[in-house]
Amino acid sequence: MSTHPVLIAGQWRPSQSTGTFRVENPATGQPLPGEYPVSSWADCDAALTAATAAAATLRTLPASQIAAFLNRFADRIDARKAEIVELTHAETGLPKAPRLGEVELPRTTNQLRQAAAAALEGSWALPTIDPKLNIRSVLGPVGPVVVFGPNNFPYAYSGAAGGDFAAAIAAGNPVIAKGHPLHAGTTRLLAEEAFAAVGETGLPPATVQLLHRVEPETGLRLVSDPRTGGVGFTGSRSAGVKLKNAADAVGKPFYAELSSINPVLILPGALTERGAKVAEEFAGSAMLGGGQFCTNPGLIILLAGDTATQFAADVRQRFEAGNPPVLLSSGLVRSLSEGVAALRAAGAELITGGSPLPAPGCRFANTLLRVTGDQFLAAPEKLQTEMFGTASLLVVVRDAAQAAAVLGHLEGNLTGSFYSSTTGADDALYAVLEPLLRTKVGRLLNDKMPTGVAVSPAMNHGGPFPATGHAGFTAVGIPASLRRFAALECYDNVRAARLPASLRDKNPNGAMWRLIDGRFTQADVGA
Does 44 qualify as catalytic in the annotation? no
- Min. distance of Cβ 41 from a copy of itself in angstroms? 21
DSSP H helices, 94-236, are 105-121, 163-170, 184-201, 216-223
Q: How far is CA 127 from CA 35, 133, 182, 434, 504, in A?
A: 47, 15, 41, 35, 10
- Chain CA centroid to CA 412, Å: 15
CB 350 within 8 A of CB 336: no
CB nearer a copy of itself, residue 113 or residue 443: 443
CB 348 within 8 A of CB 371: yes
- Min. distance of Cβ 329 from a copy of itself in angstroms? 28
Distance CA 177, CA 85 (A): 20
- Min. distance of Cβ 294 from a copy of itself in angstroms? 14
Closest of 444, 435, 376, 387 to residue 414, by C-alpha: 444
Which secondary-structure segment (H or E) carries 419?
strand 413-419
CB nearer a copy of itself, residue 324 or residue 479: 479
CB nearer a copy of itself, residue 46 or residue 118: 118
Distance CA 376, CA 84 (A): 44
CB nearer a copy of itself, residue 38 or residue 118: 118
Does 362 qualify as catalytic in the annotation? no
Distance CA 174, CA 143 (A): 7
Distance CA 87, CA 148 (A): 20
Closest of 290, 280, 285 to residue 314, by C-alpha: 280
Annotated catalytic residue within 104, 281, 294, 386: 294
CB nearer a copy of itself, residue 355 or residue 456: 456
SS3 helix, strand, coil % of the chain, rounded to 5? Answer: 45, 20, 35
How deeply is 98 buried, as exposed, middle or buried, from its count of CB atoms within 10 A (0-12, 13-18, 19+)?
A: exposed
CB nearer a copy of itself, residue 325 or residue 416: 416
- Min. distance of Cβ 2 from a copy of itself in angstroms? 40
CB nearer a copy of itself, residue 167 or residue 189: 167
CB 367 within 8 A of CB 390: yes
Q: Which phi and psi angles does 508 have, rounded to 5°?
A: -65, -25
State whether residue 487 is helix, strand or coil.
strand
- Min. distance of Cβ 133 from a copy of itself in angstroms? 5
CB nearer a copy of itself, residue 142 or residue 343: 142
Q: Please report the beta strands in 194-334, taking only residues with DSSP state E, as ranges in sequence order.
A: 208-211, 230-234, 254-257, 263-266, 299-303
Buried b (16+ CB within 10 A) or exposed e, 39-66: bbbebbbbbbebbbebbeebeebebeeb
CB nearer a copy of itself, residue 345 or residue 488: 488
Annotated catalytic residue within 104, 257, 273, 281: 257
- Min. distance of Cβ 140 from a copy of itself in angstroms? 8
Handedness of CA 119, 122, 126, 129 (dihedral sign): positive
Closest of 167, 148, 169 to residue 159, by C-alpha: 148
- Min. distance of Cβ 342 from a copy of itself in angstroms? 22
- Min. distance of Cβ 100 from a copy of itself in angstroms? 23
Closest of 197, 252, 199 to residue 222, by C-alpha: 252
- Min. distance of Cβ 508 from a copy of itself in angstroms? 17
CB 196 within 8 A of CB 76: yes
Active-site annotation, residues: 257, 294
